[in-house]
Amino acid sequence: MQPLRYKWFWLGAGLGGLALTLVLALLPMATPIAVANEDKFLHALAFAFLAVWFLGVVDEGMTLRVIAALAVYGLLIEFLQSFLAYRAADPRDVLADFTGIGIGWLMASAGLRRWCGWVEAWLGAGP
């Protein structure tokens, strides 16, 4: 993988994505979800996105650490939700998170791991 010129920006933006995910997971829902299992889909989508994001920024040797960190993050969110009267911890949400992480890992392995380098090349920000 080619070194990234704006690696700290990409990492910071990813941390912002983690913070946004946490806030959305802990806020009360404005409207109930109308479609069955829609929230499971959203969990999987969010964690697939986060996996592709971070795997695109870090070196390949960090893959398992990223996967483990995201898995712990998903567990942490459910743990925190268990303390909220308007939210509930759901093991199926954790399963959806883990599914999303796996999908993101597969997508990164299939070539999306280079997304960050592609963006920097497109911006003309190469080394």
Judge whether 127 lies within some domain. Answer: no
DSSP 94-127: HHHHHHHHHHHHHHHHTTGGGHHHHHHHHTT---
Torsion over CA: 115, 47, 6, 60 (sign): negative
| SS3 state of residue 26 | helix
Residue 119 has what pLDDT? Answer: 92
Range of the domain at 78: 38-122
- For residues 106 and 38, the model is more confident at 106
Task: Tell me if 87 sits within 8 A of 32, measured CB to CB.
Answer: no
Other beta carbons within 10 Å of 28: 8
- pTM: predicted TM-score of the whole model, two decimal places: 0.89
Total count of domains within the chain:
1
Judge whether 68 lies within some domain. Answer: yes
Judge whether 22 lies within some domain. Answer: no
Judge whether 97 lies within some domain. Answer: yes
Helices (H), the chain: 7-26, 38-57, 63-81, 91-109, 115-122
Helical packing angle, 38-57 and 7-26, nearest 10°: 160
Distance, in Å, from the CA atom of 64 to the CA atom of 27, rounded to the nearest integer, reads: 30
Judge whether 49 lies within some domain. Answer: yes
Average pLDDT over residues 75-93: 93
Judge whether 59 lies within some domain. Answer: yes
Judge whether 28 lies within some domain. Answer: no
Average pLDDT over residues 79-103: 94
Name residue 102's amino acid: G
Judge whether 58 lies within some domain. Answer: yes
- Residues 87-97: tens digit of each pLDDT: 888 999 999 99
| SS3 state of residue 83 | coil
- Residues 14-73: tens digit of each pLDDT: 999 999 999 999 998 766 665 567 889 999 999 999 999 999 999 999 999 999 999 999
